[in-house]
Structure 1
Amino acid sequence: MQASIEQLGSDIFCRSPQTRPPELRLDAAAAGSLLQDWSARYAKAVRAADPGELLAIGRAIFDWLDANGWASGWAGGTGGRLLEIRVTDPGSTIGRALLDAPWELLADRNDHLAGDAVQLFELVRRIGPAAEPTKPIHSDLQVIFMAAAPEGQKILDFEAEESAILDATRHLPLHLVVEESGTADQLGVRLKLDGPFEALHLSCHGDIHPERGPVLALEDAVGDLAPMSPGDLVQCLGDPARTPLVFLSACRTAEQDDGARGFEPFVRELIRAGVPNVIGWDGSVYDTDAMAFAECLYGELAGRARTPRAVAKARLALRQTARDDPRRGSHWHLARLYLGPAGGGALAGKGLPKRRLASETCADQFLDGERGQVPVARRAEFVGRRRQIQSVLRAFRDGSAGVLVHGMGSLGKSSLAARIASRLTGHRTVVIFLGAPHLRSYDALTILDRLLEAVPVQQQQRQAARDTWRETVLADPGALAEALEDLLEGPLDAEPVLLVVDDLESILETPTPSEPLTPVQPSDRIPLAAVLTAFARASTASRLLLTSRYRFTLPDSRGRDLAETLDPVPLRPMDGLERRKQLGAAARTAKTAELSPGQQSLVERALDAAGGNPGLQATLTRPILNGEDAVAEQALAAIEHFRRVGTPPAEIQALLDAGTAGDADNALLAFFRRMAFATYRKALSPDQARMLRAAGVFSEDLPIPRPALHAAGAADGVGDPPAALDRLLALGLADDWGLSGGIDQAAANPLARPLEPPPPPELAASIAAAALPALDQAWRAADGDLPQDRRSWELTRLTLAAPELDTGLLCRAAEPAARWLFGTEQDARRAQAEVLRPSLERLDAYGAEPSHGLLLIAVDCAERLGDREAEGRALGMMRSIQAEGWDDAGTNLYVARQQQRLGDLDSALRSFESAAQGFLDSGREREWAIARGQIADILQARGNLDEALRIRTEEEIPVYERLGDVRAKAVTMGQIADILHARGNLDEALRIRTEEQLPVYERLGDVRGLLVCRTNIALALLVRRARTGDGKDAAEANDLLCRALADARRLRLPEAGQIEQILSQVGMACGD
């Protein structure tokens, strides 16, 4: 049912031609004050997180629109509900009031319309006259996603938002292109080179500056804050109409400025610029809500839904989440969809041609493009490394003599260098690639010639510089430093270069245990020293970047280490999201169709075996994406063998030992040869080897505070753990994770771990025990709590492994670890098997008392798994612990439920009463109502219907109404209907079920609640039919039971058998 609200002369004109009455006119002057008042109330309710007030505002707006029954007529029609707020002049008082009013809250006597899953509420704000919607040109959707997290700003979980979009659209025709930079410049380049895109998604902070108006918190090239105005974004977009949807997933982007300047919201400015569809947030939104909204939105858009419908579905999903868990989805009402004249259509269309992606057409890319040397990841394939790129650019900005990017082989150092080169658009890239066999020894003259080539011919300085320096350097290679300094401060200052020295390890000596840092080969020391000296001395705009597997040392004639003039930027393995992003980019390039279950399994093995190494992951996944499963299986078996025992399989090792090329196309053989793991092993002293072994006791991909690593090394007999760890970091066998909480973090590289066998169990336990104090100190918050994430899980694992149990630490770590697995990871089985069961058993063995919180999560977990034995044990321990207040009330509630389930109703009643009183004393109104309701359950079962009815109507219902908990109210109304049914008042019981309970479940999309309600209605109809003989009641009951049975079978619910039994007992059957 389509409806619109707009200003018409001195009236607010409400129109819905298909309903009765079709129109409503309201005085515009009076309307302005009302709308502004509702907007002000809305802002306060949002800040106060008051769902009751939000519902009251929604009903007040609905009642205002229902002066002649117009709103009821429109809302009561059939089909979806589409409401369009139309404004031609958003700067006028009435226009602004119409756009600012919280129409999303519209509510009838039951609930917010936005929560109705049956009649979807599509709400749009259109600025300007409606025109033909922008027509889609492809059958698939291409979205460009960019997140920004400037240094010093609160970190947003944009990786999770990106991951959620990927998950939601994994099997849908959507291509997610990620621009990693966070900068306006690179976004503009990406939009120009890889566009057009159907949607731009920006995830960042948003604000309203008192002088500049609405801004987005983007980054500059080095990661500092670079505010973006609406005009800046319009410049990036080029022609705004080319991007049909812009989603500003940033706070306050749809919020009206209430300051003296009265700036228009960011979203409205983009509509004014000509973007057809714009989504923003009218206030500050939780990361989790923004993520869930985006996940549903893009799933719908990829399914070719119109933008208003996609937004409505996303809003509904958040609303349903909020009903199930008040801690999530509470900002369901904050998203705003604005349309320009051409907005409101679908972004992709069935039957249209599939786009040809840029990644399918671009040629291979090379770090040295002029010579076609050093293949690197193409722009569409390069993922992550954002902070490392920013670290390099920041060092360049601050005048660093040079930067050394270092890390284990195949981590993507050359590709990173290429990305940095692409950012320095004012610099010409000059590459000295030391990895090619015929170029492995670069002499001073060759280096000079390469830099002379970069001097522009038109400056007429190239020949002059050649004449001045070439003969001098040929006669004395040591003069190269002076020659380079002259070039850098002269022609290469005005026309700067980025000099990239790639694969530096090719001119380093073979690492040995006696050298903390790897020296340069004697034949290459003079030219490399000249390069480092020249860049250190010169005042120039040119920059120097080196890549190496190892940290190195290069003393000059005065004993100073020239390598120390470089800023080190370590690379580490990709995290889980980056691994998936690389896989997705590779799949797009390979044009891979949907993988089979067997191939999915191979992919998971490949991601695990590669350990975040981009080169190895590409080697392992490429045959899978190309459909060469047998080749992939063979490669995986070889890497998994290496990960288990630390050496390649015998047949590969034989080829490596022989030094023969073997199969030139064997990528796996090339990987092992390139990685040279045997060289790493020989480079370690016994102390360093033990340090690597001790670091391997900790879990992979988890940064460990250095003090904990030092303690672990000391426990393994390492004489100087800090020096040994520094050596592992210098070789790339340990990864530098930077600072966290002011403490340096590191971890053993996943591919380095197999080089040392794990310690014996007794030693591993001693290593774990030694690390625990440092881990606890580094990871606990100021209030003593540990985080609900993988760190608590690791601390629990190590505490359980220690020879002597620290019971206090185990209780503090196990509870957040279990809650992380149970809640965040949604894995109750792991929570029980890895944390709860072993923790409770060890505590019991030590005669230690578990914490109340640990037992609560143990009960929740056992209840979800249906493990009555574990639940009973945890409840028994809980009852034996002396608790107070809220903890004691929670214990009594859990105990009462078990007693009720076991049939001990007297004990259950006493426990529920005790719990209710405890909740009341603690000010927990909702929990008090729940406990009182369960008392009513027992009273009802015992036939005390009067008292049960009183509790339902006088105690429970008022609480749920105040809290706006429509589902709890609907459940309680059903229980009231049960009492009325038992008393024989069938008509009133039926009225409650059909008019007050059933519509709520329909709006909520609660299938299980719906089928139970339909079954109860059918049973009441059958009882009435037995009394009256009315055949209509029998037919309606049959239909309701069959609909309920179909839903129960589809969802595989146990109620299916009960409904089948009812049908059999009354002699009814379903059509199929």
Structure 2
Amino acid sequence: MGLALDDTVFEVLLGTERIGPRRPLSADDEALLVAFGDRYLRAVQSNATDDVFLTLGRDLWSWLDGDARQLATLVASAPSPFVFEIRGPKNPSDRAWPLLRAPFELLAPPDGGFLAENALSRFCVVRRLGDAVTPPAPDGFRLGLAFMASSPSRQHELDFEAEEAAILEAVDATRVDLIVEDTGNPAQLGRRLADLGGLPAVHLSCHGINRWRPDPDTPPAPALMMEDEVGDDLPTTAAHLVNAMTKPPRFLFISACLTATPANEESHLPPGAGRRTTTMSPAEQQAMVAHSMATSLISAGIPAVLGWDGSVGDRAATAFARELYSQLSTQADVAVAVGNARRALLNSAEPPIRADWHLARLWLGPDGGGPLVSGNRARSRVTAVHATKIFLDRKSRVPVAAPNMFVGRRPELQRALRALRSDGRAGVLLHGQGRLGKSSLAARIADRRPDLTPAVVFGDYSPTAILDAIAEAVKTNPGARDLIEHRRNEVRERPEALEPLLTDLLAGPCAQLDINQLPLLLIIDDLEQILEIEPQGLPKVVAASAPVLAAVLRAFDPAITDSRLLLTSRFQFTLDNLQDRLEQIPLRPLSTIAQQKLLNRQQEKVTPERRAERAALAARAVAVSRGNPGLQDLIGQRLVFNDHVDLPRAEAAVTEMESYLHQGELPAEAEVRAFLEGLALDTLLTEAGPEHEALLRDLTLFDIPIPVSVAALLADRTSGSTARLLALGLVDTFPDAYRPETTALIANALAAGRLTPLAADEIRSLAATVTRPLFVAWGARGRHHDRPQHLDLQLVRLALIAGDTEVVACCAADAVRVLNSGLAAVACEFGDAAIALLDHHGTAVPIDLLRAVANAARVCGHGKSVERLLGRAAQIIQSDDAGGIPLLDRARVAADQASFLLRGGQLERAEQLLHQAHQWFVTAGSEAEAATCQGMLAVIHYQHGEYDEALRIMREIELPVYERLGDSRRITGTLGRIADIYQARGDFHEALRTRQEIQLPVYERLGDTWNVAVAWGKIAEIHYNRGEYDEALRIRREIQLPVFERLGDARETAVAWGYIADIIHERGDYDEALRIRQEIELPAYERIGDLRSIAVAWGNIAEIHLQRGNYEEAARLQADRLATNERLGDLDGIASAKWSLAMIYLQQEDFETAIPLVAAAYRGALKLQRADGLAIAGSTWGELLLAVGELEEAKSVLRVSLSAAEKIGAAGLIERIQSTLEQAEGPE
């Protein structure tokens, strides 16, 4: 039941019976449906409240209901569950697509809530392409589900572990066979499904993009961002995915954003952390409506596809999956299961989860729908967590992490699985510091290999213990069981008999002949218990255990068996080179993202009140954990968030841990003390030996991992060994940031905290040794543009100490830019030091460095420094007689100078420079920068009150360039400046829409905290203009100020304080408002040299003097303000200053002086079309005209003033003007 449509006509059906007439799908209908889609998109982007979506749902109901009340009749008669199906042709026309894609999930009757809310009717929406046919019967087994997450290395990392854990939690292991494929690669997924004979359901968790193209000439298509063989991006279209799956599923859930969004949709925005999708391709007009990923897969033959029509949050996706698979495992119809999962989100008490309830879109092909399963027979006797259970049984004293607490080990997991599949390794050694999660990872690896029978050895590593563990694992394998029983005594009497027994066992009963003879995965956990640390080299296996382990390593020969080994140890070891048969996989500390994931898991277990109360302490707990998940679990979960641990005790534990990491004593908190004693960091440092500890101290010089080749130079200095430090878990390895195929290393953060810090002379000596080799290893000057900027920062920090001018000259500009994204004052100081070093050595200072430091100085309010630095850059250009300086450098300096002069009020010179810079940018082929110059010229027009010309430049020159280039940030900035004009003219609705629906979503998803704060400030200004002072004050204090203060942005901080003073002034606290103006705001503007802002501050201070009756001082300040604005050519400022002066004279009853000023203020507002100025100045000017008998002109002015007051919603002013108008019109 629902809608059936062809290309031009649709009908409403109840079963097979039509309700009401067939209705043509007209061009007007198409336009209205497109508008519905646009409204939905804007609402999603702006995180709109329920009332926005409810209004849209009611409008959609009204259209569909029509004059014949077709929808109301259908709803009244529909059974439960109410499956509302929109069925279209297999190949819909352009006109049909808007109806198919309309957000029917939001349907709501005129006087009611969302249909989806009703748990009794169970309303659910499904879209079908093609006429329905009877689907094939399910196979009689229980639900079979393949889960694969793809998280390429260059994409924002998804919380896929939570999604997998939610599925495991939701679905009883007796009702589902879950297979997890960890490669993230579609080809490997296809092979896995083929090996299994296919499964009814596949779940893909990944990023999505709706406009991917392999080259500029290929039309855009939806794609999933999956992984290639090494974990990099592999854009995968529907065709690629279907080709990979020779055994396709009946139901495919692509938990990626925009998978239900068509490829011609231009307006979807890039996401931020915790949301799924990726940056959109450049927007280009497409004549034809393209398929979404979901509909493309339907057309390719997948019976049912579920996707997201927008950027879904990780938590919402996880909650949805939990409910969906719980339903599907109990033989629910696919459409009903999706509807129930949607309703679970809608009914969630947590806003981040509830917000995305409507985004899921279910598409069916002709044979899609119905239940996926009809029985409860197992497809496999091995559960998805079979090895984890064995670990828990065997190792209850140190349990492995629960699935929902396991995070951040994807690279190691993938590498281990590749090694276990290869023919070149006997197995894997997972090694690293204690409590990094080696056992937990080993359990997950074993879970991922259901084709191997896991046997766990822990604590007792004797031949008989190993044999006992294997015997337990193979007890359902009669041949293996008999062989072990037959030869067990021989091994007990002669331990050397273990090797031939294992060889025979692995080549015989455990040789994969059938399901009861699977190969072994022998897991030997905590191997460090039988290792001893030698004075030099790698640790060795103790003499009593060495023959046993050697026998095991020889028996598991990949050339003759598919059985494999999986060892965990705090240390690497050496054993007659047999260790080389193992893939050595070090576990490093958790990444920042993984630490946040773990913190999120911990926070989910406590109340919102506890979460808020201890948020700051929890952040400190994460910091002191240094990426060790066991320590983060202990301090975070068991102390900071524990309901039974009071705040002083938790704070003390964290403080003591911070002290410990600065060579302090062990913490007094018993659990933390025991944990650290178990890590035995001090003991390990001693056992490493003095030369190796010295090497580790040298490595603390670096903030980021450095290439092994550079570390080797330090090893030569101390005669230490990085291999030994790695074997003992005292250094951590990473892919090198410049050459990821090579290894980089860094001192372990916990171990480093126990070392005596390097002295100043040691730092100088080390910097002199490594700066140049590190510069070469990271590409030197020739590959500067390929080097990540954070590497430049490390290089310059060293080069400043070493006095290496070449490195500073090459890298300092980008290093300053990295720092300027944080605290501007630090960036400014750092840049000044770089310039001073180059000057000291007589080395030319690069123009790019001068510009970067000038920008940092501008942000932190050092106006004189900006002027000096840009002046120096200009001098370099002027003295370049040979013309060796690139044109782009010339243009950028000119544009920077113009920007500085604009703020200082030197508009004429700024305009000249902008025209010059624009021409140079055009010649150099930099379209975006040329357009930005035009935008700055538009700002000058804006300041002159020439709003129409400013709008023309922004709309007709700037925006088309940025849209063609797909530059989201510049597009959004331009739209924000257009909104400034709307706001100035009193069109608060359109200005607010731009801020909330365009600016905020883009900047938030780009991670641009500065522009987010600026946009919030504009929103606060609208609230202020509406008299909503509480909300305006909240935004200024809670959202804006913290960001600007953290970034060290002196001007924006002062501006925010100025707006706060405005509100305080309105509330009558003149003393506090005056203090803010004089002690915070005005000094900041004076340091920067921002004349316009200085003039505004003078005017605000004058208002306070006026309130206190200090007319002379108020008039002096307003006169200074007027003179400054006249020099700046700021028509808005001039009109405002004249109005303020008029108010002073009116209060003194000096009408002769006041009247011309009021008239001038009104004319200025009229020219600018400033609604607020027209309303306020116009009301007074009309009253004065009325008083002097100019009746007709008074009425004309008052009508304009009333219209403006109504536009800005000034209720009190409206009433006053209406009363005056009635008085003026009374005699007529």
Question: How does the TM-score come out when normalised to structure 1?
Answer: 0.65
Report whether the alignment pairs 1:536 with 2:557: yes
- Tell me which residue corresponds to 1:1048: none
- Give me the whole-angstrom Cα distance separating, in 2, the residues matched to 1:820 and 1:147: 35
**Number of the residue aligned with 2:618:** 603
Q: Tell me the residue number matched to 1:959.
A: 957
- Give matches, 1:501-540, under 5 Å: 501-509=524-532, 511-513=533-535, 515-536=536-557, 539-540=560-561
Aligned to 2:441: 416
Q: Which residue of 2 aligns with 1:731?
A: 728
Structure 1 equivalent of residue 811 of structure 2: 813
- CA displacement at 1:506 relative to structure 2: 0.8
Find the partner of 1:157 among 155, 158, 171: 155
Residue 443 of structure 2 is aligned to residue 443 of structure 1: no
- 1:551 and 1:163 mapped to 2: Cα distance? 28
Checking the alignment, whether the CA contact within 8 Å between 1:222 and 1:391 is kept in structure 2 is: no
Are the counterparts in 2 of residues 301 and 348 from structure 1 also a CA contact under 8 Å? no
Q: CA deviation digits over 1:946-986, x for unaligned, max 9?
A: xx7997598666424644669858957988999xxxxxxxx
Q: Distance in 2 between matches of 1:425 and 1:231?
A: 26
Map residues 576-655 of structure 1 onto 2, 5 A cutoff. Answer: 576-588=592-604, 590-595=605-610, 599-621=614-636, 622-627=638-643, 628=645, 629-645=647-663, 648=666
- Aligned residue for 1:181? 182
Q: 1:158-191: per-residue Cα shift (whole Å, max 9, x none)?
A: 31788999xxxxxxxxxxx9999355999999xx
Match of 1:393 in 2: 417
Q: For 2:492, which of 454, 467, 474 is the aligned residue? A: 474
Partner of 1:832: 828
Q: CA deviation at 1:632?
A: 2.6
Tell me whether 1:769 sits opposite 2:791 in the alignment: no
**1:690–1:995 Cα change, 3 Å:** closer
Q: 1-side partners of 2:161 and 2:451: how far apart?
A: 34
Deviations 1:827-880 (A, max 9, x none): 5344335x4343334334444443222333333333333332332233233222
Pairs within 5 Å for 1:331-410: 348-350=345-347, 367=391, 369=393, 372=396, 374-399=398-423, 400-410=425-435
> What are the within-5 Å matches in structure 2 for residues 743-762 of structure 1?
743-762=742-761
Output one character per residue of 1:529-549: Cα deviation in whole Å (capped at 9) or x when no partner: 222222238722322111111
The aligned counterpart of 1:425 is 450
Work out which of the residue numbers 471, 476, 486 in structure 2 matches 1:452: 471
Which amino acid counterpart does residue 683 of structure 1 have in structure 2? E
Q: Residue in 2 aligned with 1:266?
A: 294
Q: What residue identity is the alignment partner of 2:1194?
A: T
SS in 2 for 1:425: coil
The alpha-carbon distance between structure 1 residues 642 and 353, as it changes in their structure 2 partners (threshold 3 A), is: closer
Residue identity opposite 1:248 in structure 2:
A
Shift in CA distance, 1041/632, structure 1 to aligned 2, threshold 3 Å: same
Change in CA separation of 1:816 and 1:771 when aligned onto 2, cut-off 3 Å: same
**Residue pair 2:250, 2:304 contacting (<8 A) in 1 also:** no
CA contact (8 A) 2:394 2:458 kept: no
**Quick one: distance in 2 between partners of 1:538 and 1:705?**
34
Residue 412 of structure 1 aligns with an amino acid whose one-letter code is G
Q: Deviation digits for residues 890-942 of structure 1, max 9, x if unmatched?
A: 32232234334434455444434433443444455665566567668778989
Q: Counterpart of 2:471 in 1: which secondary structure?
A: helix
Does the 8 A contact of 1:997 with 1:1013 survive in 2?
no
Output the CA distance in 2 between the equivalents of 1:625 and 1:959: 55
- 2:487 aligned with 1:491, yes or no? no
Q: For residue 1016 of structure 1, what is the aligned residue in structure 2? A: 1170
Distance 1:976 1:446 in 2: 79
Q: Is 2:714 the partner of 1:712? A: yes
Would the alpha carbon gap of residues 769 and 932 (structure 1) be closer, same or farther in structure 2, given more than 3 Å must change?
A: same
TM-fit CA distance, 1:612: 0.7
Q: Shift of the alpha carbon at 1:382?
A: 0.9
Question: Aligned to 2:407, what secondary structure does the other structure show?
Answer: coil
Residue 660 (structure 1) aligns with: none
Aligned-CA RMSD value: 5.8
> Which amino acid is the alignment partner of residue 735 of structure 1?
D
Partner of 1:313: none
Aligned residue number for residue 785 of structure 1: 785
Percent of aligned pairs sharing the same letter? 25
Amino acid of the structure 1 residue aligned with 2:774: L
Aligned to 2:891: 889
Aligned equivalents of 1:578 and 1:422: distance in 2?
Answer: 21
Is 1:667 matched up with 2:821? no
Displacement after TM superposition at 1:690 (Å): 1.6
Q: Using the alignment, how far apart are the partners of 1:506 and 1:993 within structure 2?
A: 73
Mark the CA change 1:232 to 1:342 in structure 2 (over 3 Å): closer, same or farther: farther
Q: Residue 475 of structure 1: CA displacement? A: 2.7
User: Relative to 1, partners in 2 of residues 1:667 and 1:912: Cα closer, same or farther, differing over 3 Å?
Assistant: same
1:881 is paired with a residue of what secondary structure?
helix
| Matched residue SS, 1:1029 | helix
* Residue pair 1:792, 1:816 contacting (<8 A) in 2 also: yes
| 8 Å Cα contact 1:603-1:624 kept in structure 2 | yes
Q: Is the 8 A contact 1:1017 1:1037 kept in 2?
A: yes
Q: Match for 1:279: what amino acid?
A: W
What is the CA–CA distance in structure 2 between the aligned matches of 1:492 and 1:164, rounded to whole Å?
A: 35
Change (3 A) 1:920 1:411: closer
> Structure 1 counterpart of 2:733, which letter?
D
**1:180 to 1:585, Cα distance in 2 relative to 1, 3 A:** farther
Against the structure 1 CA distance between its residues 230 and 497, is the aligned structure 2 distance closer, same or farther, given a 3 Å change threshold? same
1:694 partner amino acid:
D
Instruction: Output the CA distance in 2 between the equivalents of 1:1034 and 1:214.
Output: 52
2:1029 counterpart residue number:
none
Offset, 1:395: 1.7
Q: How far did residue 584 of structure 1 move? A: 2.1
Contact residue 247 and residue 280 of structure 1 kept, 8 A: no
CA contact (8 A) 1:432 1:501 kept: yes
Does the aligned pair in 2 maintain the 1:818–1:832 contact within 8 Å? Answer: yes
1:696–1:748 Cα contact (<8 Å) kept: yes
Q: What residue ranges of structure 2 are gaps of 5+ in the alignment? A: 13-22, 40-54, 65-83, 108-113, 123-144, 164-177, 194-200, 266-285, 321-334, 354-384, 512-516, 878-884, 964-970, 1000-1014, 1027-1168, 1183-1192, 1221-1228
1:866-881 paired onto structure 2 within 5 Å: 866-881=861-876
CA positional deviation for 1:394: 1.6
Aligned residues: 840
Task: Give the letter aligned to residue 590 of structure 2.
Answer: M
Q: CA deviation at 1:582?
A: 1.7
Taking the aligned partners of 2:902 and 2:612, their CA distance within structure 1 comes to: 44
Alpha-carbon distance change, 741 to 869 in structure 1, aligned in 2, over 3 angstroms: same
1:450–1:747 Cα change, 3 Å? same
Say if 1:470 and 1:953 are closer, same or farther in 2 by CA, change over 3 A. closer
The one-letter code sitting in structure 2 at the alignment partner of 1:424 is: R
2:661 partner SS: helix
Q: CA 1:180 to 1:598, structure 2 compared with 1: closer, same or farther past 3 Å? A: farther
> What is the aligned partner in structure 2 of residue 550 from structure 1?
571
- Once the two structures are superposed, residues 762-790 of structure 1 have per-residue CA deviations (whole angstroms, 9 ceiling, x without a partner) of 11122123222232233348642254443
SS in 2 for 1:751: helix
Secondary structure of residue in 2 paired with 1:541: coil
Please report the TM-score for the alignment, with normalisation by the length of structure 2.
0.58
Aligned partner of residue 380 in structure 1, secondary structure: helix
Q: What is the identity, as a one-letter code, of the residue corresponding to 2:827?
A: A
C-alpha separation between the residues in 2 aligned to 1:770 and 1:368? 50
> Is residue 149–residue 155 contact of structure 1 (8 Å, CA) maintained in 2?
no
Q: 2:744 aligns to what SS in structure 1?
A: strand
Q: CA deviation at 1:591?
A: 3.6
Counterpart selection for 1:678 from 677, 682, 695: 682
